[in-house]
Amino acid sequence: MNPVAASPVIEFCDVCYRVADTQVLSGFDLQIEQGETLVLLGRSGSGKTTSLKLVNRLLSPTSGEIRVKGVSNAEGDVIRLRRSIGYVIQDVGLFPHFTVERNIGLVPKIEGWPEDRVRARVQELLRTVGLAPEMAPRYPHQLSGGQRQRVGVARALAADPEILLMDEPFGALDPLTRDGLQREFLALQQRLHKTVAFVTHDLREALRLGTRIALMEAGRLITVLTPQEFLRSADPLASAYVRAFGEGLESAANRGAS
């Protein structure tokens, strides 16, 4: 870590989140630093998605607070907050009645960018995520799953946010497409240095993409480790994950670190 690091970009301070009688998150403390890819790893129901949604205030904590760039995200305008954070979800959530171009350009457009600047930005983003410019006038249902996911990433990057929240963005893709997108994500991240919070239940993906891995279970943060530490960890849950995923993890971690 950078010794003169400023305050973390995202900071969870003793956050609890409860729905009815279910404690979804309890005593959650976590700092996400500038430019890192922090992977939230855990099984379904462990509270990973909830913690992402607390960052852009799709949910509000029952107690505790979340600071974004040092300021509690409960203060200020929620719409401004969300537009300053890119959000990618597993089901992509592309607008089916919009072309690729309109999907990607929506936030810049409602932010009042002039038409030609929006168009230029869309072209630039299509290149960034590895899509041909001819894709711009197509509709989401005319694209493959991998292409849709790329459009989802491009859309999240549109207004050039510092922070990206990614909720199992590659979860529904076939292994080959997923592998390709993970590789591109790493390359992209090396250029853009966004602060990324990435949710997955796939240890292999976590080791490959994460600079650090936050292991969650039943609404609690168990431990935060680098991929290398994770593989050697004595923590029972971490080692259970490593056993469950078996051979070849070492190379995934090394690829991510390189």
Partner 1 sequence: MNVFRFILQNHRQVLELTLEHLRLVGFSTLFAMLIGIPLGIVIAHRPRFNRPVLASANIIQTIPSLALFGFLLPVPWLGERADRLAILALTLYALLPIIRNTYTGIRGVDPAVVEAGRGMGLTESQLLWKVEMPLAVSVILSGVRVAVVISVGLATIAAAIGAGGLGEFIFRGLAMVDDRVILAGAIPAALLALAADFGVGWLERRLQPR
Question: Could you give the CA distance from residue 9 to residue 195 in angstroms, rounded to a whole number?
Answer: 7
Cα separation values, 26 from 150, 224, 240, Å: 34, 16, 22
Residue 6: is it exposed, middle or buried by C-beta count within 10 angstroms (0-12/13-18/19+)? exposed
* Residues present in the chain in total: 258
DSSP 91: T
For partner 1, which is the closer residue by CB, 8 or 105? 105
Footprint of partner 1 on this chain (CB under 8 A)? 53, 56, 58, 79-83, 87, 89, 91-97, 106-107, 110, 139, 141, 152, 155-156, 165
CB of 119 to partner 1, least distance (A): 19
Cα separation values, 71 from 8, 115, 223, Å: 11, 33, 25
CB of 246 to partner 1, least distance (A): 32
**Residue 164's closest CA among 124, 209, 194, 208?**
194
**Residue 122's closest CA among 91, 132, 112, 68?**
132
Query: Sheet containing 22-32: which strands, arranged edge to edge?
Result: 22-32, 10-19, 63-68, 71-72
CB of 146 to partner 1, least distance (A): 17
CB of 44 to partner 1, least distance (A): 16
CB of 155 to partner 1, least distance (A): 7
What lies within 8 Å, CB to CB, of 2 at 6+ separation is 33, 34
For partner 1, which is the closer residue by CB, 79 or 120? 79
For partner 1, which is the closer residue by CB, 122 or 253? 122
For partner 1, which is the closer residue by CB, 95 or 232? 95
For partner 1, which is the closer residue by CB, 42 or 152? 152
CB of 99 to partner 1, least distance (A): 10
For partner 1, which is the closer residue by CB, 46 or 56? 56
For partner 1, which is the closer residue by CB, 61 or 152? 152
- Write out the E strands in the chain: 10-19, 22-32, 37-41, 63-68, 71-72, 85-89, 163-167, 195-200, 212-217, 220-225
CB of 141 to partner 1, least distance (A): 6
